[in-house]
Structure 1
Amino acid sequence: MKATIWHNPKCGTSRKTLAILEETPGVEVTVVEYLKQAPTRDKLAQLYRDAGITPQQGLRIRGTDAKERGLPDADAGTVLDAMAADPSLIERPLVETEKGAALCRPQGEVHKLL
């Protein structure tokens, strides 16, 4: 099974999720450091749709200026535009497999995709 993780190596939850993926037999992991290689607006929209969440639910509030920018109350398109322009606004880690996508907070959520 192939898995892609949009990862921030400075985040403990992201590191723990990556460890689960790497320790699971038969999983071929692609790691995307999204702060260096941001997903496109369309990719983010697809990931959130597949995860069954809104872009607002995938918005990182802690450690960002999202509240000051009014993003928690903004429409989905505005949030996606902001995330594509500033990937620090993307909550992590996002994981995608053939079974779907999920925001893996807490890290145990990744098991639903394996």
Structure 2
Amino acid sequence: MYPRRRPPGTGCPVIASVSGVDLVLIVTEPTVSGVHDMERVMDLAKHFGVPALVVINKADLNRDQSDRIESLAARYGSRVIGRIPFDREVNDSLMAGKTVIEYGRGPACAAIEQTWEQLSAALADIG
């Protein structure tokens, strides 16, 4: 008999990283597997009594799944604090050996900056 395997998203490293923290930030993509993994991490955060916030990477590639992520976050009493659009500048920045913020001012850069502001505010509310 084969050992039972855990689905991606909630293995031992994730469990270890959630225990003892003040906030969980889940970065997901609007795919079936991304939504599934996000839900498993939301369950884990709920189990440990840790609030969770969500960022949707490439949010504009599948609007239906992005909407599903929004609904799921709300169902868990959480919220989406960032919606990063698909942006070819991200790949260009990687090729240049720079972060997206260092590289330019495209839509992904602006979304990451807005997400950081939302995360900073959430962390200030906790501390």
| Higher relative contact order, chain-length normalized (CA < 8 Å, sep 6+) | 1
TM range (shorter): 0.3 to 0.5
Larger helix share, 1 or 2: 2
Structure 1 or 2: more strand by fraction? 1
- TM-score, with length taken from structure 2: 0.32
